[in-house]
């Protein structure tokens, strides 16, 4: 079985985890699975300027398009993705219905000199490429100077060491998967910074008509993660049809009850709207749609009329 992935250290760690789970589930040697590294546009520095916001050059598709093309062409059998990078709709012929157990969903505040957002000096430079994190930060601390800050985990840590910014934010899940205990990171409570849709989750994509692969993937699918992501991704899908704006969302489970919390913000952080909805797990997708419509109605059309400098 050929497993397709990006070549970053975190993407490779996710591919290794997928391989290990499949090998264990079927009592197969690791050599039964070949990891194929695929270069995507989002990783090509010659095509994507380091100081240009991702939303201007394709955003999520930048990290999936080439991998999905190879999957459709039969060059690989499955594709392993960070779910927060995934568009809400898959290309014809592909399906995303397998998820590994979700990791820590929280954002991590990373700084060599401060332990939390409140410790930052007035006007401090904060590096992030996330439209969501930018807006959430400015909503709490309008005095901060937020600059574009891209690259893999190692690249961003090097920028911090070089003094490019006072702090940045990484996903706790990525730090855990890379076993980077030495990083000066403080988890941020989800009540203070609601995470990106599907943060901390690994998804596995396959060809729709590949029933043999479907049977194998079913053995490693985590149902609880799938139920949570069904609500979160439907929330995102409904919002994406109406606007391009900072969006955050998190679904949690308590027995047979699912609670979905969602947030939309103006990119400059001047306004944030949030709400929650609870119901049976089986109604997750419907709740995602309902919550999105609730926030859209509260916001009104003017909420999404914005222009953000790319400084």
Which residues form the catalytic set?
85
- What is the number of alpha carbons within 13 Å of residue 116 lying toward its C-beta? 7
* Separation of alpha carbons 172 and 246, rounded Å: 20
SS3 at position 189? coil
Residue 304 host element (H or E)? none
**Separation CA 180–CA 173 (nearest Å):** 10
C-alpha distances in Å from residue 42, one per residue of 1, 62, 67, 177: 25, 5, 12, 21
Length of the chain as a residue count: 311
Query: What is the rounded CA–CA span in Å between residue 164 and residue 124?
Result: 11
Contacts of 91-96 with C-beta under 8 Å, sequence gap 24+, read 93/207, 93/208, 93/209, 94/68, 94/205, 94/206, 94/207, 94/208, 95/205, 95/206, 95/207, 95/208, 96/203, 96/204, 96/205
């Amino acid at each position: 079985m050929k497993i397709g992935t990006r070549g970053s250290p975190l993407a490779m760690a996710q591919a290794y985890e997928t391989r290990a789970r499949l090998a264990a589930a079927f009592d197969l040697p690791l050599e039964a699975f070949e990891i194929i590294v695929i270069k995507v546009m989002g990783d090509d520095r010659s095509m994507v300027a380091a100081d240009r916001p991702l939303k201007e050059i394709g955003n999520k598709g930048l990290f999936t398009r080439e991998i999905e093309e190879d999957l459709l062409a039969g060059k690989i059998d499955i594709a392993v993705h960070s779910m927060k990078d995934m568009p809400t709709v898959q290309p014809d012929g592909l399906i995303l219905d397998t998820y590994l157990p979700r990791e820590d969903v929280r954002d991590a505040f990373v700084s060599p000199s401060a332990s939390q957002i409140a410790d930052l000096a007035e006007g401090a430079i904060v590096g992030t490429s996330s439209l969501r994190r930018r807006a959430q930060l400015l909503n709490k601390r309008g005095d901060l100077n937020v600059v574009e800050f891209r690259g893999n985990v190692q690249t961003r840590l090097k920028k911090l060491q070089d003094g490019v910014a006072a702090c940045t934010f990484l996903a706790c899940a990525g730090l855990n998967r890379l076993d980077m205990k030495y990083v000066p990171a403080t988890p941020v409570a989800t009540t203070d910074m609601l995470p990106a849709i599907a943060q901390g989750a690994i998804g596995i994509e396959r060809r729709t008509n590949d029933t043999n692969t479907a049977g194998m993937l079913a053995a490693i699918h985590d149902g609880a993660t799938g139920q949570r992501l069904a609500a979160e991704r439907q929330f995102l899908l409904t919002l994406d049809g109406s606007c391009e704006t900072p969006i955050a969302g998190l679904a949690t489970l308590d027995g047979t009850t699912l609670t979905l919390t969602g947030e939309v913000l103006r990119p400059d952080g001047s306004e944030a709207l949030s709400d929650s909805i609870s119901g049976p797990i089986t109604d997750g997708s419907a709740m995602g749609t309902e919550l999105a419509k609730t926030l859209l109605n509260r916001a009104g059309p003017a909420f999404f009329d914005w222009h953000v400098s790319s400084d």
